[in-house]
Every structure is written in structure tokens, then in C-alpha cells.
Structure 1
Amino acid sequence: MQEEYIKLIFGLKLKQVRASKDLSLFKLSKLTGLSKSYLNEIEKGKKYPKTDKIILLAEALEIPYDEIVSLKLDKNLAPIAEILQSNLLQEIPLELFGIEERDLIEIISNAPMKVNAFISTLIEIGNNYNLTKESFYLASLRSFQEANDNYFPEIEQSAKSFLKEYLVNSDDSVTNETMEEILKEEYNYTIVYKDFKDLGAAELAKLRSIYIKEKHLLYINSTTDNDQKRFILAKELGYNYLNLTKRLYTFSWASFEEFDQLLNNFYASYFAGALLLPEDKLLKDMQNLFALESHDLSKFQEILGKYTESPETVYQRMTNLLPKHFNIRDLFFLRLSTKVGSNSYKLTKELHLNQQQSPQANETEEHYCRRWVSLNVLKELENQKDDHHEISAQISIYPFNNNQKYYVISSATKDPFNPNYLRSVTIGVLYKSAQRKIKFMNDPQIPVREVAVTCENCGMENCADRAAKPSRFEKNIRTKRLNVIINDFIKEENKI
């Protein structure tokens, strides 16, 4: 355990014992001969007393020496001790949010019982909703993206520098052959294309790539489509060009040991997007698209086809550029997945900029609103027999969430590694903050629909698309009615 945490635990114990004996810092100072300011610094975890002073404190507080120096806290503060003795504070990327570890320790020492209650609440929520370490770190990563408007100029510049260094003609798109050559010649890679079904384990067949660090050996699943192969190669270039040593070794990743691996995976992915869809080129296409007066989804599809990348890569890249270049910060990105023939949908990726917009993922197995365009494109795609790219858009209004209004566009494709699954990617932008920047949003031909987040929390009457009863909504209504009745009763009683 770090020395700082040992100091803090000693300070917490001293403060707890002193309070239990109804002693002020002034009284304890008189009993021990130690100054009030010195005792205060001990309790805040800033100083650790020498042995002779610990003996004075133990005698004044009438507790054994071994007990006061023990790192064990009683049950009231046990969750704090667990946090401090784990590596959680080292794992949380405090510096990304401008927070000093010392500041966090100061907060804990100033109000230990309140912090303990807060930590206990988080633990209980995590247990109730099956939240894992991975989901916690992913939430931290999303918060980091949101805090930076999902735009990272240093990585954008690195991608531009890379293209300038390795491409003769900057107007050309980087080819697979060029990326492979750079990985082999500059970074000593060996690249093997192989059907992962032949690797001996059925589970490996679902992976797109595996990197063997010790041998600089990159396996790429030969059944992967070209767009995915390009992204894998570009991402490996990102790891190396940005000198990211802590990394993930499979795509898609199965697990990770520390937050830096997840963060660097994001950095490498961002670099890949900036390499394959250069900022200046995509920005020009977006400006031309947004200048159109009429809503024409074929124009959007032209952009998707121009870069020969998966819809998800283009959608993600747009979330980088919309806040920076169009001042559109109220936006969300979603990725949903469903199994063919089922009526169940899982939100597998999300990002919310500027505010926590609806919709958001939930871990309660509730049914997402069937009026979402994200779900409707999946339903339409299921009816298509061949490989197809389904695209749709609508104006979504959330009547039960302050009538928030979004322009939402969504694309659905078949999952190349799970033929029985479909996935959709979606961007939603707040209407009032984007309508002046995106001309076609004023086109009256765009469908408008009232939507909710989940059926269980929706009060729409006679909804033909409902997949579940409005159980949470009705419970909230009953609670509000009961509160009104109670308040009215109290008022009447006070008049008597």
C-alpha cells in the first residue's frame, strides 16, 4: 500500500476514535501536548506521527498501541479501507479529468462517513445491476471522451504527420499494401492472414485479429471483410506510431488488466479513424452535405461509400468533427445489436456529448422503445435477403423527457462474424442546436415520431409498437398520487 494511504487510514482511525470519545482537537491537544494544527494534519492524512507520539495518542485515547496503528478499519469505514488498499485509485485515470490523487484523499479525510456511504451505494448499485470492472472503466473512458468533446487534436495531427511522411500524394487514400509494408519494414511485423476456424477453438473464430507481442506477429482473420482489415492495420500503426506500449492484443478485445490498455486502445482506434478518413476530406464532404436544403439519404450514403469504410467508422468519425467544426456538441452515438428472429435488442456502445441525452443503455432488461429509428432499420434489414445496407432517419421527440427533440440517422448492416446477428449505428443531434448548421433538417418531409427510452417507463397511450407494459411509469404515477394525497391530508389536519 502506498505511504499516502497508510497516513490516511491512520488519520481516519484517529478521527473516528477521538469522535467516539467526544474529544475535540483542542481537548486531545491538551491531553497529549501535541499541537492542534499537527493533530489536524494527522487526521487529514498529511502526516504520520513517530512512535513516541503514537504512544501519547494511544494513552490519551485509552486504546492499545497495536490497535491504533492497525490498518484495519471498523465496519463503518471498511469500504473506504477496501478502496484504499486496492489499486482502484491508481487505475482510475484521475489526471485525465484534472484531478490530483491528493485532492481525492483530502475529500475522503474531510467527510469519511459521507464518502463511505457514497462508496457503499456504488457497490450496491454495481451488485444489483451486475456492473463489472469493465463497465466501470468503459464509463470512465466515455466520460473522458465527453470531457474533450470527443476530439483529440494531438492525434489528428499525428495522423496528418503520418500521411505526410509515408504517402507521396496526400490526396490518395492509404492502401492496405502501404500499411502492411510500413508495419513490416518500420516495426518488424509479420502479418498472417488465416481463417480463425482453423486455430483449434471455435471461440477464436469470432475474433478479427490476434497480436503476439513477443514475435511482432499479427494474425488477421481472413474471413474479415476488407473494411475491417483496413481498420486493423491502421490501428496497429496507431499503437506503434503513437508509441502506445500498454495495449490490447485481440480485436474485438476479450478482457483487459488495467485502464491504460483500454485508453490506449481508444487512442489507437482514433488514430485509425483519422488515418482512413482524414479530417480535411471528411470535413469538406460534411459541409457540402449540410448545405443541402432537402433531406436526401442517398447523399449520406455517397459519403459512406466514398471512403469504403464500415458505417460505424464513418459515424464515429463524424462524432469527432461535429463538435469541433460545427459547434454541434449536443449529440449521441449508439450501436445496437439483435439476433435475427428475436425481439430483443442490446445497446453495445454509446457516447453522449455535452449532456446525458436519451436514450441510454440500461442494465435492467427493460425493452427499448420500438419507435427508435435504430431499431426500425434493424427490422427492415431483417427482411432483406442479400447483403444490404439499410439507412433511415427521423425527428425523434421525447415527450416524457422535457420534449427533447433530435434529428436521428441510423444505418444497419449484417454482422460479418455473426451471420445470425444484425447491428445498427446511430447519430442523434439536438434539433435546436443543429438546425442552423444542417440546412436539410428543416425539410418537412423528414418523419417525426414521439419516442421514449423504454416501454416500462413510457406513458404513451394506445402505442401499437409497445413491447412491454408501462410498469415503472405506472409505479411512479401511483407514488406521485400517494404523495399528493398525503400532503392534502396533512394540510387538512393542520387546519383543524
Structure 2
Amino acid sequence: MEDEYIRLIFGLKLKQIRTDKNLSLFGLSKITGLSKSYLNEIEKGKKYPKTDKIIILAESLEVPYDHLVSLKLDKNLAPIGEILQSKILKEIPLELFGIQENNLIDIVANAPAKVNAFISTIIKIAQNYNLTRESFFLASLRSYQEAHNNYFEDIEADVEKFAKAYQIDLEKPITSSYLEEILVEEFSYKINNTELDKFDNLGDLRNIFIPKSNTLLLSKDITEAQKTFIYAKELAYNFLNIENRLYTFPWIKFDSFDQVLNNFIASYFAGALIIPKKSLITKLTDLFNQKEWQPLSLHKIIKSYNCSDETFYQRLTNILPKAFNIKNLFFLRFTHKEGSGSYRLSKELHITQQQSPHSNRNNEHYCRRWISLKTIEDFKITKHEKSAFGIQISSYENSQNEYLVLSSANKDPFKKGIHRSISIGLLLSPHLKRKIKFLKEDTFSKQLVGVTCETCSVVKCKERVAEPWRLEKQQNHDKIAETVAKIINSFE
């Protein structure tokens, strides 16, 4: 076991023995002659006492020396030992949420049986949901983003420093050639556009970075926007001195949470460089001040940057909460395999509150009335060359919530027969209506939507692809509970 865990186990045992004897830290300090602060640091796992101090503690507490130094824990502390030895706490990015590991150990130590039962339950839930280690990391990252409204001032500032250092005009579109020049001249990169395509099974990869030779392998099929984003990420790794990083895009596997976090930081940096904050705020302000909705206006804003639709929509999730105080929003990415009847929610982000929809584990069918799915179907039917766009107001059944949802769909260039859509939804509120001048009652078509067919109560739905069996099961349970309550009341 690592030294820190040995310290933690010793501290837990000491605290348990002390409390079993109804001794305060002050009292233990008096009978041992050791300072209260020193004893407190031992119990928190910050210090491991020397042999002479352990002898004093053992004699004062009337316990065998061997028992005190043994790594074997009593029955009620055994679950903590298992948690420590499994190193699960190392997998959880506690520091992102302002939690110290020792504080968590303290919580566990105060009610070991209950906390162990809780952790066991969480693990079983994770197994039922087929939650992988990578999924856990990504869920932690998503929570971190949501806790900060997906806006990070320090990265925004780093982008401006970088632009100034390398004389990049953030008022003009950034090209891959300019960023490539910086990578080659400043960071000694070698760019290889042929090697990656020699391997048939690497068709999904856009790039591989080889650290030993500082070589960046690029797929020949990437677009100018994708190449610019890849270069911007590489510059982020170098400019921010990030060493613990991923070497492929898309990622194949994560070795640690730090890699997940650093991948996010580099991606955020790239998006902020390609779509600068000040420029985007100015353009969005002009758009929102228009009295009438003009679809081409938004299209022109997107095309004014050298970016993909996904990068642009992702960037909106940074800027809208911070600059316009539009915080009740969600971001979704759906994928759909041609010829199949299913849609997969492959990426999601919810700012401020947990808006529907969310990824589900039961293979239920997402509502076909969503604009996210409609734009995919529209793209397939009309055979757009680049993207299909859609916008609607989604009004959720059995809910007060309505969302203005913008969506675009296109082909996945790296996965044959796969279509995808990117959507951003903004909660309709008085604040949103004040911010967006063209948002009137009849500006956009309104659609009553559910979450999944299996839980939806909308009747005579032409788009329904599955019966609402889950909803009917719940309604039946509610009726039984109501009847049982009446029977009980009748005998009182």
C-alpha cells in the first residue's frame, strides 16, 4: 500500500480507539504528553508517528503495539480499508469540487457501515448502467463543467495571451496554415499527412501525436475546420505546458482523470481561439437585437469562423451563460446509423438544471418530435451536401418547460453510414424573451414533445414508435396505491 494509505489507516485506528474510550483529543494529549495538533494530524493521516511515539500511544490507550500498527482493521472499519486498497478515491476527481480526500475519509469513518452500503449501492447502479471507468470520468468532467456554467475565465485569458504572443488577429478567421507554422517553427512539430491512411482499421481517427519525435499524423480526410481545431489543441498542450495528455483524436482510452480534464482544457482553448469571445459576443448581440428572425443571420455568424457546427454550438454553451446570463440551456449530440431505427445520445451538457432529455439505459426510444432527430431525417431525405438546420419550440408534456431548440445535422466524415445532429436548447423565460428581440409567440413552430415513447402520454402521436408501457405501468401502480389508501381510510 502507498504511504499515504498506511498513514490514513493508522489515523483511523487511533481515532476509533480514542473514541471507544470516550477520550477527546485534548484528553489524549494530556495522558500521552503529545500535542493536540500533532495528534490531530496523525488522525487525519497527515503524519505517521515514530516508534517511540507509537509506544507512548499504545501504553496510554492500553492496546498492544502490534494491534496499533497492524493494517488489519476492525469489522466496522473494514469497508474503509477495502475502499482505500481499491484506490477508488484516486479515481474520483475530488479536488475539482473542493473536497479533500481526508475530509471524505472522515465522513466515511463516522458511519462506516452506512457509507459502505451507500458506496456498494452506487457501484451496483454503475454496473447495471454498464458504466465504464471512462464513462465515470466523463460524467465527473460534465459535472465540473456544469458547476462552473461551462465558462473558464483562466482559459479565456490564456487564449488572449497566446494570441498576443503570436500576433494572431482575433478579429479575422484563423486558418490551419497559420497555426501549423507556429507548431513547426515554435514547437518543432513534424506534420505527416500520409502515414495514418496506410492503416485500414484507423479510419475513425483524425490524428495521432507521437511525443518522442514530436510528429503529428493527420488523416487526409479531415476538413480545413477540423485541421484548424486539431492544431489549436496541440498549441494548447504546448502553450499551457500540459504533459499528461491524450495522443489521439477522437480518444481511444483514458489512463487517468487528469488526461480527461487536460483534453477538455485543450479543447476549450481551441474553441476559444477559433471563436474568440469578444467577436462572438458582438455578433450574438446584433443577432439578438434583430426585430425579426432571419435564419441566414445565424448561418453567416457560423460561417464567419473556421469551425464545425459542433464547435460553434459548444462555444455557445461557454458564452451564453456568462455574457448573456442565459444559463438554463442544454447541449446534445445524437448519432444515427443509416438503416437502423435507433438514435444514440452520445454527448450531453446541462447548465443550471437537469433539462430533458438525458441518455437512458433501457434502450427506450427518444421522442421523434425532437428537432434533434428531425434534422437528421431532413438531412437524409434532402441529401444536403453539408448540413441541414432546424429550429423549433419544444413544449414538454406534463411540464411547464418550453425550450427554443436550434439543431444542425450532417454526415460523420469518419464513420460510414453514420449521421449526427448537434443541438442547443434554451429555456423559454421572461429573461430570454427580453434578451432575444425576435422571439415572439408565433416566430417558431411549437411542438408538443415527450422524452421517450415508453414514458410519453401524448395521445394519437403519429411519430410514436413504441407503446407507453413504462408510463402505463406507473399509472397502474398509482391507481393500486390510491385504492389501498381508500381501503385503509375506510377502516379508521
TM-score (norm 2): 0.89
> Structure 2 vs 1, CA of residues 377 and 74 (structure 1 numbering), >3 Å: closer, same or farther?
farther
Q: In the TM superposition, what is the alpha-carbon distance from 1:111 to its structure 2 partner?
A: 2.0
**For residues 113 and 16 of structure 1, do their structure 2 counterparts lie closer, same or farther at Cα, with a shift above 3 Å needed?**
farther
1:441 aligned counterpart, secondary structure? coil
Match of 2:480 in 1: 482
2:417 corresponds in structure 1 to 420
- The CA distance in 1 between the partners of 2:59 and 2:146, in whole Å, is 51
Aligned match of 1:389: 387
Q: What residue number does 1:251 align with?
A: 249
After superposition, the C-alpha distances for 1:120-153 in whole angstroms (9 at most, x for unaligned) are 1110001111001111110111111111111111
Q: Which residue of 2 aligns with 1:154?
A: 154
| 1:405 maps onto 2:408 in alignment | no
Paired residue secondary structure (1:392): strand
- 1:274 aligned residue: 272
SS of 2:424 mapped into structure 1: strand
Asked if the contact 1:407/1:441 (under 8 Å) is kept, the reply is no
CA distance in 1, matches of 2:215, 2:454: 49
| Contact 2:376 2:419 (8 Å CA) reproduced | yes
Take 1:341 and 1:157, find their aligned partners in 2: how far apart are those partners? 46
Equivalence for 2:175: 175
Deviations 1:52-84 (A, max 9, x none): 367559976xxx876665434577765533331
The secondary structure found in structure 2 opposite 1:25 is coil
Question: Hey, what does 1:309 align to over in structure 2?
Answer: 307
Structure 2 vs 1, CA of residues 204 and 290 (structure 1 numbering), >3 Å: closer, same or farther?
same
Aligned AA (2:345): L
SS of match in other structure, 1:206? coil
1:394: how far off? 0.9
Once the 2 structures are TM-superposed, how far is the Cα of residue 89 of structure 1 from its aligned partner? 2.4
Give aligned-pair identity as a percent. 49
Structure 1 residues 423-432 or 384-393, which shifts more? 384-393
Give SS of 2:435's match. coil
1:174 is paired with a residue whose SS is coil
Conserved in 2, the CA contact under 8 Å of 1:294 and 1:443? no
Secondary structure in 2 matching 1:184: helix
Residue 121 (str. 1) matches residue 116 (str. 2): no
1:83 aligned partner:
83
Q: Do structure 1's residue 52 and structure 2's residue 51 form an aligned pair?
A: no
Q: Deviations over 1:347-386 (max 9, x none)?
A: 1111111111111112222211111110111111111335
Q: 1:96 to 1:44 in 2, by over 3 A?
A: closer
Question: Residue 253 of structure 2: SS of its match in structure 1?
Answer: coil
Deviation at 1:483, TM superposition (A): 2.1
> Using the alignment, how far apart are the partners of 1:489 and 1:182 within structure 2?
78
Shift, 1:459, TM fit: 2.2
TM-score (norm 1): 0.89
Gaps of 5+ in 1: none
Q: Quote the residue 1:337 is aligned against.
A: 335
Query: 2:139 maps to which residue?
Result: 139
CA RMSD of aligned residues (A): 3.0
Change in CA separation of 1:68 and 1:170 when aligned onto 2, cut-off 3 Å:
closer
Q: Determine the structure 2 residue equivalent to 1:370.
A: 368
Aligned length: 484
Aligned equivalents of 2:89, 2:308: Cα separation in 1: 37
Q: Which residue of 1 aligns with 2:231?
A: 233
- Counterpart residue identity of residue 253, structure 2: S
Give the distance between the partners of 1:483 and 1:6, measured in 2 at CA: 52
Aligned counterparts of 1:469 and 1:423: Cα–Cα separation in 2? 26
Residues 433-463 of structure 1, C-alpha deviation per residue, up to 9 Å, x if partnerless? 4221112222513111121222222222222
Deviations 1:19-44 (A, max 9, x none): 9xxx66269x99xx779x98x96777
Give CA deviations for 1:311-344 in whole Å, capped at 9, x if unaligned: 0010011111001110011111011100112111
1:469 matches 2:472:
no
Matches of 1:444 and 1:58 in 2, distance apart? Answer: 77
CA 1:469–1:278: 2 relative to 1, 3 Å: same
Structure 2: runs of 5+ lacking an equivalent: none
Q: Between 423-432 and 381-390, report the one with greater CA deviation.
A: 381-390
Letter in 2 for 1:377: T
Is 1:108 the counterpart of 2:108? The answer is yes
Structure 2 letter corresponding to 1:247: R
What's 2:222 paired with? 224
Name whichever of 361-370 and 204-213 sits farther off: 361-370
| Structure 1 counterpart of 2:444, from 443, 446, 453 | 446
Partner Cα separation in structure 1 for residue 467 and residue 337 of structure 2: 23
Residue 94 in 1 paired to residue 91 in 2? no
CA–CA distance in structure 2, aligned partners of residues 355 and 456 of structure 1: 23
